[in-house]
């Protein structure tokens, strides 16, 4: 991983969980989720195609709560991965691009 990728991932995580923010819970601590939409089986997206998710929204929360427990239901609850990625990119641009 390059220095630029590490910096990007740190900035993404610092935004807090996008799913929590969407349901009014504020910016909870987040870990990185690599977007799966458009990726082949077993392939991970680039470090620049990531969104911040609270561990229960990422992997520990069960069906409908964790994206890895059922993406279709998760996206119905919180939004499509590509939509959330666009939002994160806009927020990062506002904060870091001058």
Over 80: is that where the pLDDT of 43 sits? no
Instruction: Return the CATH number at 21.
Output: 3.30.40.190
Distance (Å, whole) CA 43 – CA 24: 32
Largest CA distance in the chain: 40
Between 42 and 93, name the one with better pLDDT: 93
Q: Does residue 11 sit in helix, strand or coil?
A: helix
Distance (Å, whole) CA 38 – CA 25: 29
Strands (DSSP E) contained in 1-98 are: 31-34, 50-53
Q: Calculate what percentage of the chain has a pLDDT beyond 90.
A: 84
Count of CB atoms within 10 A of residue 94's CB? 8
60-93 residue pLDDT tens = 999 999 999 999 999 999 999 999 999 999 999 9
Strands (DSSP E) contained in 30-96 are: 31-34, 50-53
Beta-carbon-side half-sphere exposure of residue 65 (alpha carbons within 13 Å): 7
Over 80: is that where the pLDDT of 27 sits? yes
Residue 39 confidence (pLDDT): 60
Domain that holds residue 84: 3-36+43-96
pTM confidence score: 0.90
Domain count, the chain: 1
Mean pLDDT of 31-48: 80
């Amino acid at each position: 991983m390059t220095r630029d990728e590490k910096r990007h991932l740190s900035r993404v995580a610092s935004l807090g969980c996008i799913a929590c923010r969407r349901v009014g819970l504020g910016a909870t601590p987040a870990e990185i989720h690599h977007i799966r939409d458009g990726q082949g089986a077993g392939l991970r997206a680039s470090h620049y195609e990531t969104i911040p998710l609270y561990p229960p929204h990422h992997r520990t929360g069960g069906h409908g709560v964790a994206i890895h427990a059922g993406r279709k239901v998760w996206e119905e609850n919180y939004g499509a991965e590509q939509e959330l990625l666009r939002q994160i990119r806009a927020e990062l641009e506002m904060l870091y691009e001058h």
